[in-house]
Amino acid sequence: MGRLPPPRAATLSTLRDPANGSPLDQGLVLWFPAPASFTGEDCAEFQIHGGRAVVAAVLGAVVALEGVRLAEPGEFTRRAFENGKLDLAAIEGLGDLLHAETEAQRRQAYALYQGRLTDETDRLAQELLPVLALVEATIDFPDEGDVTDAALLQARSQALAVRDRIDGLLADSGRAERMRDGVVVAIAGPPNAGKSTLLNAMARRDVAIVSPIAGTTRDALEVQLDLGGLPVVLVDTAGIRETQDPVEAEGVRRARRRVSEADLVLWLAPTIESAAERPEGSWLVQSQADRVAEHLSEARHRISAATGSGLPALLADVQAFASSLLGGEPAVVVHERHRRIMAEALASMEAALGHTDWSVSAELVAEDLRAALAALGRSRGRVGTEAMLDQLFSAFCIGK
């Protein structure tokens, strides 16, 4: 066996097959002794030349060693979790980082990875603990008069603030979902308005079939755009009109559905007549400006996909719209798991606040507050409820 390189220092080495000593490749070897490694276990990294035969030879030699096998998908992360190196929220953030395609998605993922959710739930728990301690004191020491009505009222208003904060975080979770899935912008309008041409122009590639034959587009087509780091899903739809063709009719039905679900609808129309049907809230975009003489005064944009005129302004406007939905600091509640935790914490806070006189209902209030704390404690996905309470309580002296 060769020598072990010094810990955490890239070491240029010749890699040899342990079975016969023949050299396989030269590369950098990194040695991370436990516990200072990604998984918390002893880890070694080989940086080798990327040719398939080189990788196969090195992997083959490593796997031939006793007790060595290839990792299952996600196994390293799973071990990191089991060994307490990463909590569940960080792992979710890591997963999002791996899938991030735009700058804003990367920022949201990185925030979660860095503990944005757990920092927030920890802070809420810290605010709730003195409230619980006070309520418990009224149960444990009812006659001592330590707990004044004024103190209870103050605790109640603190609980109210926690409730409002959770409510706000939940309300903001739609923004996180949009950040992951993209802001949906549907291009709609009558046949031959130039919808597919606009989609291709905005996507800068030939995604949709363009033709002078009305009813060419039947299925809704999607392209992902990165507008200044913001994820936008652009949807091309079938031209909306009455039709006898059953396939086109299905396309029109889908178009109407996509329009009703979209965050923004660009209603494309070359003429006043074709602008009439546009849905409320949609942006009227006059198309084919190079060809059409009339001027739609109520149009927000006037474009020609043929010459490119008006396109930069339209793109900038759509980007500003996406920014109005997604902008600001990354959301805290990002995944369905987070939403469930927060919804549960919210329900428990509502229950606690539902008791009007806290001195009379102290035991029930304490139970609700404990349930809220337990829900918040689950943000890490690992820490047992009691363990978290123990840890938090240790920093807080009740009755002293």
Ligand X SMILES: Nc1nc2c(ncn2[C@@H]2O[C@H](COP(=O)(O)OP(=O)(O)O)[C@@H](O)[C@H]2O)c(=O)[nH]1
**Ligand-binding site membership of 238 (annotated):** yes
> 288 touches which of ligand X, Mg ion, none (CB within 5 to 8 A by kind)?
ligand X
Which residues, including other chains, have CB under 8 Å from residue 315's CB and lie 6 or more apart?
A: 202, 227
Q: How far apart are CA 382 and CA 388, in angstroms?
A: 10
Query: Do 322 and 232 touch, CB atoms closer than 8 A?
Result: yes
Residue among 3, 348, 398 nearest 167 (CA): 348
> 118 touches which of Mg ion, ligand X, none (CB within 5 to 8 A by kind)?
none
Lookup: tokens for 133: 């301690």
Task: Out of 196, 287, 319, 379, point to the residue binding Mg ion (CB under 5 A).
Answer: 196
β-sheet with 43-47: strand ranges across = 11-16, 23-32, 43-47
CB-nearer residue toward ligand X: 194 or 231:
194
Residue among 271, 236, 233, 266 nearest 251 (CA): 236
Q: How far apart are CA 229 and CA 348, in angstroms?
A: 38
CB-nearer residue toward ligand X: 254 or 337:
254
Task: Out of 39, 108, 118, 196, point to the residue binding ligand X (CB under 6 A).
Answer: 196
Query: Do 236 and 221 touch, CB atoms closer than 8 A?
Result: yes
Query: Rule CB under 6 A: is residue 197 a binding residue for ligand X?
Result: yes
Query: Rule CB under 6 A: is residue 245 a binding residue for ligand X?
Result: no
Task: Out of 121, 138, 216, 274, point to the residue binding ligand X (CB under 6 A).
Answer: 216
> 237 touches which of Mg ion, ligand X, none (CB within 5 to 8 A by kind)?
none
CB-nearer residue toward Mg ion: 195 or 378:
195
CB-nearer residue toward Mg ion: 89 or 265:
265
Q: Which residues make beta-bridge pairs with 15?
A: 25
Residues that bind ligand X (rule: CB under 6 A) add up to a total of 20
Binding range to Mg ion, per CB under 5 A, among 57-65, 146-154, 194-202, 266-274 = 194-202
**Ligand-binding site membership of 211 (annotated):** yes
**Which residues participate in the annotated binding site for GTP?**
192-197, 211-217, 236-239
